[in-house]
Chain A
């Protein structure tokens, strides 16, 4: 089974609107972390946000928030007030802390912000 699933290969959003990028995960490890990364067309990788499995509150970093629904095993990224510079690939990842500390990445979602 896939550890990380991103079901939206491509998404479009109007500038200044909010957008949600979906991510579901699969693990039996009670201790894990969830990550989102952004990769613009220039190719660099940018860490956006982290959520730990024991964190009670959803993580937020500026315009980014992580909608963590543990029972559903989902970790959706919400970008508020989209900007043109948000156009990029977005990757969801998970790390299992009790089973080898390996990272697992999703296949990514390409987000295009329309002016």
Chain B
């Protein structure tokens, strides 16, 4: 158990809908990262937050948004969902914002868009 929690574990929804994925980092970790893993695109970095502020942005679509709250949990919002958004979404956390700190991954949220 990495100490990073993600909810829900599985999510099935329809095209055009909006969903929210939640991540709680390990106790003491200030950075949260979001990644998407799909068969088509492979592993992609989406975004990183550190202590509530956005620190790095990857291939995150405009239909997606994220935030990190004062209690350090993070949410990834996916809207106007398309079939191609079906993927495993990982969250990871680390102590610092520069990633020579070890990253700890959550179990992922499997999103299926029908």
Interface size on A, residues (CB 8 A): 21
Min distance, Cβ A74 to any Cβ of chain B, angstroms: 19
Partner of A47, one of B44, B88, B98, B103: B103
User: Known: A45-B92, A47-B104. Contact between A105 and B99, CB under 8 A?
Assistant: no
Q: Check if B100 sits within 8 Å of A47, measured CB to CB.
A: no
Report if A46 contacts B (CB, 8 A). yes
State in angstroms the CA–CA spacing of A44 and B108 once bound together.
Answer: 7
State in angstroms the CA–CA spacing of A50 and B101 once bound together.
Answer: 8
Q: Interface of B with A (CB < 8 Å)?
A: 2, 35, 42-45, 48, 55-58, 88, 90, 92, 98-100, 102-105, 107-108
State in angstroms the CA–CA spacing of A11 and B45 once bound together.
Answer: 25
Partner of B45, one of A43, A97, A103, A107: A103
Q: Check if A102 sits within 8 Å of B108, measured CB to CB.
A: no
Q: Check if A97 sits within 8 Å of B98, measured CB to CB.
A: yes
Q: Check if B90 sits within 8 Å of A45, measured CB to CB.
A: yes
The SS class assigned to the A binding surface is strand
Q: Which residues of A contact B104 (CB under 8 A)?
A: 47
Report if A35 contacts B (CB, 8 A). yes
Min distance, Cβ B93 to any Cβ of chain A, angstroms: 11
Report if A25 contacts B (CB, 8 A). no
Q: Taking CB as reference atom, which chain A residue is nearest B48?
A: A101
Q: Check if A102 sits within 8 Å of B102, measured CB to CB.
A: no
User: Known: A101-B56, A107-B42. Contact between A33 and B100, CB under 8 A?
Assistant: yes
Min distance, Cβ B7 to any Cβ of chain A, angstroms: 15
Q: Which residues of B contact A47 (CB under 8 A)?
A: 92, 102-105
Q: Check if A45 sits within 8 Å of B99, measured CB to CB.
A: no
Q: Which residues of B contact A91 (CB under 8 A)?
A: 43
Given contacts A50-B100, A108-B43, 4 further A-B contacts (CB under 8 A): A33-B99, A47-B92, A97-B98, A103-B58
Q: Check if B57 sits within 8 Å of A52, measured CB to CB.
A: no
State in angstroms the CA–CA spacing of A35 and B92 once bound together.
Answer: 14
Q: Which residues of A contact B57 (CB under 8 A)?
A: 100, 102
State in angstroms the CA–CA spacing of A45 and B2 once bound together.
Answer: 10
Q: Taking CB as reference atom, which chain A residue is nearest B42?
A: A107
